[in-house]
Structure 1
Amino acid sequence: MSDVRVRYVHRGYFPARAGAELMTQYLAASMSRLGWEAGVYSNPVDDDTAAFMRGAGVSIQPLPATPDDTDRADVVHAFDAFHPQDIAAGLDLARAWDVPFAVTPASAPDVWPDRGTVLDGCRAADAVFALTVAERDMLRDAGVPAARLHIVGQGPHLPGTPDPAAFRRAHGIQGPLVLFLGRKTRSKGYVTLLEATERVWRTRPDTSFVFLGPRWDDDCAQQFARHADPRVIELGMVDEDVKHSALAACDLLCVPSTVDLFPLVYVEAWACGKPVVASEFLGSEEVVSHGRDGLLVRPTVPAVAEALDRLLGDPAARDAMGRHGQERVRRELGWDAVADQVHTVYRTLIAARKQTEKAR
C-alpha cells in the first residue's frame, strides 16, 4: 500500500511534549514504516514541533486554508479534543476529499474548550479511537455509534539513554526520590504533591522531590517559592537523556492527575520498573491496577502523602509494583500493537469506502 496516504491534524503543546503529540508522531512514523505516505498538518507550525516530527522522519506542513487535491489523502485523522478546531478542520478536509475521517480525542472531557464541536466531529467520524473502556462508553453515551469506537492503548516514549547515578549526583540526591513529570498545572496534581512534601518529611526527612516539566499555570513561580526547600528540585524542559535518567533514578512516580484519560508518563514509569501514585480520573481504575502496579488515591494532600509514605517505607512492595508494571508494558502496552490496530481500521475504512463508490 505504498501509494496510500494518511494526513494527521494536530498542533502540539509547545514548549511541552504532551501524550497526544507523541501519539501523532508515533502513528505517523509507524504508518510510514508500513509503507504509507504519512504527514502532519499543524497550525501554526512552530520550529520545535517541526523538528520533533521531522526527527522521526515525519513531514509536517501548515493546515491548508482550502483543500489541495494534489495532497489528497486516503484517510484524515485528527488528534486531541483540547484543540477542537483541529477536529473540525480535519472533518472539513476529509469531506472535501471524500475520504474516511478518524478522531483520537486524547484529552479528558473536563478540558475540552468546546464540547459541541468535539462531539460533532466524533459523531461524524468513521472511526474514533478511545484509550479506555470508560472513555469509549462516555463517547457512546454522547451519541457516537458503538461500531465506530475502537480502544487502543499507548506505549512508552523513552528514546534517551538513562544514567540514574549521574542524575542523582547532579542534583545532590542521596535518599529516596519522588518524581513528578509533566506540565505543571493543577489538574496534573503538582500543587497537591508540593503541599504533601511537608507531611512526608515528618517521617521521611531525607526524601527529595523532583518536579520536571514546563511551568503551565500562571502562579507556578509563587507555588514553588511558597514551598522552597533544598529537597524540592524544580527542572523545566529537559532533553530525552535527562528525562529517562530521572525516571530510572526515582523510587516512584507521583502524578496525581484529576483530568486525564491514560497518562503516557505512567507507561514510561512502568517501562523503567517504577510504581506510580495516581489519583482518580475517567477510567483511572483501568489504567492503574491499585496495589499491583501503583496506588490510586483521592486527590487530597493527606491521601497523597499517606500513599507516598506507604511506598517509601516498603521497598519490597515498590519493587513488586514496578515489576508488574514493567511486565504489563511488555505484554500489553506498545506502539507496534497500537499501530497494527489503527492500520487495520484504516484499511477497513478504505475498503468500505471503495465498496460504497462501486455501488453508486
Structure 2
Amino acid sequence: MSRVRVRYVHRGYFPGRAGAELMTQHLAASMGGRGWDTGIWTGAVGEDTARFMKETGVRVEPLPATPDAAVPPPDVVHAVDAFHPRDIAAGLDLARAWGVPFAVTPASAPEVWPDRETVLDGCRAADAVFALSTAERDMLHGAGVPASALHIVGQGPHLPGTADPDGFRAAHGIDGPMVLFLGRKMRSKGYVTLLEATRRIWAQHPDTRFVFLGPRWDNDCAALFARHADPRIVELGMVDEDTKHSALAACDLVCVPSTVDIFPLVYVEAWACGKPVVASRFLGSGEVVHHGRDGLLVDPAPRPVAEAVGRLLAHPAERHAMGRHAQDRVRRELGWDAIADRVDTVYRTLIATRRKTERLR
C-alpha cells in the first residue's frame, strides 16, 4: 500500500533562514519519519535553498503550475508562511481542484503580510489552520476563520549541530560575558535596538561581548555596524549548524527584541540550550515568554533593553534559574515530537472526513 502523501507549499529566504523555512523543513522531516510521503513544493526553487532542504533528506520540487500537470495528487496540501500569500492561494487552488484537504500555517505576523486579504481568504477557506499561539488563534478567529479549523501547535527547537562553546569563545576572543543576537538583521527583529543599547550596558559591564549572528537584511546594515564599531562587537553572517549551536551554548543570554513576530524560533532554541531571553512585545508575547521565569519582556527601546540585559548579567543566579526553567519548559511543552503528533492527528482526521464525505455522495 502506498504511503499517505503530504506536500508543503513554501519558498525559502535565501540568503537567510527564517523560522518559517525551518518550521517547514522540520515538519516535513518529522512527518516523513512517521511514515508519510513528504515533500516541499516551491514556486522559487533557489539552488541554495533547495540544497539546505535536501541535506536534511527533504524532497524539494517545483510547485505544479496546474492540477493537470504530470504530478500525482497528494492526500493533503499544506501551505506555510503568509509572507508569500500567492503560495497560499496557489496551494488552495490545487487542493480544491484535486478535492483534497488544504491546511495553512501563517507562521508570520500580520504586520509583514504583503496581502492581508489573500492570506485571510486562504485561511477562511482552509480545512485546517495551524496557529503558534492562543493570541494568533484568537486573531485569526476574529478575522473570520472558523474556530473548528483552528489548531494550536506551538514551536519546537531543532539544533542538529554539535556545540563547542569553548571553541566558539576562543575563536572570537571572548573570555567574559557574552550576549547573542541570532536572526536576520532587520529592524523589526531588534538588532538596531541592541546595537544602540551596547554603550549603556558597557557603562556597568565593560567586559561584555556582543555577537550578532545572521545575514544582513537592511540596506544600511553595514553602515549601522560601522557607526557602532567596537572590538567588543562581533558580527557574523550565515554560519553552519555547528557554529550556530556553539554560539547558543557559549552565550550568557540571547537578546532578540523583536516587535513583529508570532513565536520566534530563536527563543525556543535559546531555551533548549538553557539560556534566558530578552524579548520585546509583539502579538501574544506574554504567552510566549514567561516574564521573570524564562526571560524578560521589555519595551523595544535601547534603555529598557540595556536595563534588562544588565539585570541578567549582574545576577547570575537569577539568569541560571531562568535558563533551567526554560530548558525544563522545552522538555515538557515544546518539541517537534509533540508538534508532529498534533499535526498528524489533524491530517488523518481531515483525510478520513473527506473520504467519508466522498462515499456518501
Same fold per superposition (TM over 0.5): yes
Q: Which amino acid aligns with 1:16?
A: G
Q: Percent identity?
A: 77
Say yes or no: does 1:250 pair with 2:254.
no
Q: Which amino acid aligns with 2:331?
A: R
Q: Which runs of 5+ in 1 are unaligned?
A: none
- Within 1, Cα distance between the matches of 2:16 and 2:128? 28
1:218 Cα deviation after fit: 0.5
- Residue matched to 1:40: 40
- Given that residues 181 and 256 in structure 2 are in contact (C-alpha distance below 8 angstroms), is that contact kept between their aligned partners in structure 1? yes
- Residue matched to 2:123: 122
- Within 1, Cα distance between the matches of 2:71 and 2:206? 63
TM-score (norm 2): 0.98
- Residue matched to 2:5: 5
1:71 Cα deviation after fit: 2.0
- Residue matched to 1:31: 31
- Given that residues 175 and 206 in structure 1 are in contact (C-alpha distance below 8 angstroms), is that contact kept between their aligned partners in structure 2? yes
Say yes or no: does 1:237 pair with 2:238.
yes
- Given that residues 107 and 261 in structure 1 are in contact (C-alpha distance below 8 angstroms), is that contact kept between their aligned partners in structure 2? yes
- Within 1, Cα distance between the matches of 2:240 and 2:33? 25
- Residue matched to 1:85: 86
- Within 2, Cα distance between the matches of 1:205 and 1:3? 58
1:10 Cα deviation after fit: 0.2
- Given that residues 54 and 60 in structure 1 are in contact (C-alpha distance below 8 angstroms), is that contact kept between their aligned partners in structure 2? yes
Q: Secondary structure at the match of 1:61?
A: strand
Please give the per-residue CA displacement for 1:241-277, whole angstroms capped at 9, x wherever unaligned: 1100100000000000000000000000001000000
- Residue matched to 2:96: 95
Q: Secondary structure at the match of 1:278?
A: strand
Bigger shift: residues 35-44 or 187-196: 35-44
- Given that residues 26 and 158 in structure 2 are in contact (C-alpha distance below 8 angstroms), is that contact kept between their aligned partners in structure 1? no
Q: Which amino acid aligns with 2:313?
A: L
Q: Which amino acid aligns with 1:33?
A: G
Q: Secondary structure at the match of 2:239?
A: coil
- Given that residues 69 and 97 in structure 1 are in contact (C-alpha distance below 8 angstroms), is that contact kept between their aligned partners in structure 2? no
Please give the per-residue CA displacement for 1:28-53, whole angstroms capped at 9, x wherever unaligned: 11221111111110121111221222
Say yes or no: does 1:163 pair with 2:164.
yes
- Within 1, Cα distance between the matches of 2:37 and 2:70? 15
- Residue matched to 1:17: 17
Q: Which runs of 5+ in 2 are unaligned?
A: none
- Within 1, Cα distance between the matches of 2:162 and 2:172? 18
1:69 Cα deviation after fit: 5.8
- Given that residues 87 and 118 in structure 1 are in contact (C-alpha distance below 8 angstroms), is that contact kept between their aligned partners in structure 2? yes
- Residue matched to 1:321: 322
Q: Secondary structure at the match of 1:183?
A: coil
- Residue matched to 2:138: 137
Q: Secondary structure at the match of 2:210?
A: strand
Q: Which amino acid aligns with 2:56?
A: A
- Within 1, Cα distance between the matches of 2:32 and 2:112? 31
Q: How many residues align?
A: 360
TM-score (norm 1): 0.99
